[in-house]
């Protein structure tokens, strides 16, 4: 059986298809939970030992595709962001892509912040079951940021702007519609000169801006 050589990650050495790292010249030793793909392990390790950036995600509440497929898309976008140096992530606590992203990042053992637009977000609009599910997801975040006490018109867009302003990279899952929060968020990110990594639901391709 051919011996598999370790991948040199700038002084940290990763054995493919394992989660074992040996001691580096920096006298550090790191152990990660195992993932299926060596490339995914490498990306996550790299994100902890290079210039760090924050990243947020935006996406539709209803995409017309399965939750499993959205999970795969979020993971693919996240790995692309990690390759660009992202090591902390923001999501806006809305139904759909946001909550799926929170679960994916938790499963990937990433650091992330849940950004609630207001303390009463979803009250009177979401069912009790939906609220409990949201709260269970965001309980896994390293931090919960609440921007206002009460809902006001425009606070969802203000939350999106806050996330973009606090990020170097913006990820999106977008179907090309001309209106809505995802369109507004991605347009704002472009105007601010942010690095945008987005999945186009119309052709299934990941695209990059800046």
For 62-82, b/e burial (b = at least 16 CB within 10 A) is: ebeeeeeebeebbbebbbbbb
Check whether residue 15 and residue 84 sit in a common domain. no
Confidence at residue 61, expressed as pLDDT on a 0 to 100 scale? 83
pTM above 0.75?
A: yes
Check whether residue 105 and residue 61 sit in a common domain. yes
Please provide the average confidence, as pLDDT, over all residues in the chain. 82
The band of 7, judged by pLDDT with boundaries at 50, 70 and 90, is very low
What's 160's domain CATH number? 3.40.50.450
Check whether residue 129 and residue 65 sit in a common domain. yes
Check whether residue 2 and residue 87 sit in a common domain. no
Check whether residue 42 and residue 13 sit in a common domain. yes
Q: Would the pLDDT of 82 be above 70?
A: yes
Check whether residue 158 and residue 106 sit in a common domain. yes
Q: Kindly state the average pLDDT of the residues 101-130.
A: 95
Check whether residue 85 and residue 114 sit in a common domain. yes
Check whether residue 124 and residue 27 sit in a common domain. no
Each residue of 25-81: pLDDT tens digit? 333 333 333 343 455 555 555 555 455 799 999 998 888 888 899 999 999 999 999
Confidence at residue 62, expressed as pLDDT on a 0 to 100 scale? 82
The parent domain of residue 6 ranges over 1-50
Q: Would the pLDDT of 10 be above 50?
A: no
Q: Kindly state the average pLDDT of the residues 96-118.
A: 96
Task: Tell me the two tokens of residue 138.
Answer: 């965001």
Name the phi and psi angles at 138, rounded to 5: -75, -10
Check whether residue 17 and residue 64 sit in a common domain. no
Each residue of 140-159: pLDDT tens digit? 999 999 999 999 999 999 99
Q: Would the pLDDT of 86 be above 80?
A: yes
Answer for the pair 87, 113: CB distance below 8 angstroms, yes or no.
no
- Taking the C-alpha atoms of residue 170 and residue 159, their distance in angstroms, rounded to an integer, is 14
Check whether residue 60 and residue 80 sit in a common domain. yes
Residue 44 or 119, more confident: 119
Check whether residue 64 and residue 150 sit in a common domain. yes
- Taking the C-alpha atoms of residue 183 and residue 188, their distance in angstroms, rounded to an integer, is 9
Q: What are the Cα distances from residue 48, in Å, to 29, 30, 92, 114, 135?
A: 13, 10, 23, 20, 27
Check whether residue 46 and residue 136 sit in a common domain. no
Each residue of 12-22: pLDDT tens digit? 444 333 333 33
Number of Cβ atoms within 10 Å of the Cβ of 202: 9
Per the structure, how many domains does the chain have? 2
């Amino acid at each position: 059986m051919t011996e598999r050589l370790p991948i040199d990650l700038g002084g940290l050495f990763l054995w493919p298809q394992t989660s074992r790292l040996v001691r580096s010249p920096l006298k550090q030793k790191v152990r990660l939970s195992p993932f299926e793909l060596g490339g995914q392990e490498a990306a996550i390790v790299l994100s902890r030992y290079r210039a760090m950036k924050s990243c947020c995600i935006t996406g539709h509440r209803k995409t017309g595709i399965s939750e499993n497929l959205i999970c795969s898309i979020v993971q693919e976008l996240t790995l692309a962001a990690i390759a660009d140096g992202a090591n902390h992530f923001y999501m806006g606590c809305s139904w759909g892509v946001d909550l799926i992203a929170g679960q994916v990042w938790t499963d990937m053992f990433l650091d992330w912040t849940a950004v609630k637009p207001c303390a009463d977000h979803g009250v009177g609009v979401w069912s009790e079951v939906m609220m409990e599910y949201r709260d269970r997801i965001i309980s896994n975040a390293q931090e919960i940021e609440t921007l206002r006490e009460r809902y006001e018109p425009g606070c969802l867009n203000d939350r999106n702007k806050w996330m973009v302003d606090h990020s170097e990279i913006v990820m999106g899952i977008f179907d090309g519609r001309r209106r809505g929060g995802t369109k507004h968020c991605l347009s704002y990110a472009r105007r601010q000169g942010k690095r945008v990594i987005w999945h186009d639901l119309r052709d299934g391709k990941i695209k990059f801006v800046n």
